[in-house]
Amino acid sequence: MPAYIIAEVTITNPDQMAKYREWSTRAMQEHGAEVLVRGGRIVPLEEGWTPERIVVLKFKDLPSAEAYYHSETYTRARQVREGAGSIRMIAVEGV
Question: What confidence score (pLDDT) does residue 54 get?
Answer: 97
Q: Of 41, 32, 40, whose CA–CA distance to 3 is shortest?
A: 32
Report pLDDT digits (tens) over 78-90: 999 999 999 999 9
pTM of the model: 0.92
Contacts of 10 (CB under 8 A, 6+ apart): 51, 52, 53, 85, 86, 87
Whether the CB-CB separation of 95 and 4 falls below 8 Å is answered with no
Question: What confidence score (pLDDT) does residue 45 get?
Answer: 94
Whether the CB-CB separation of 87 and 9 falls below 8 Å is answered with yes
Question: What confidence score (pLDDT) does residue 61 get?
Answer: 98
| DSSP class of 33 | P
Helix (H) or strand (E) run with residue 57 in it = strand 53-59
Question: What confidence score (pLDDT) does residue 68 get?
Answer: 98
Report pLDDT digits (tens) over 32-75: 999 999 999 999 999 889 999 999 999 999 999 999 999 999 99
The domains of the chain, with CATH numbers, are: 3-42+50-93 (3.30.70.100)
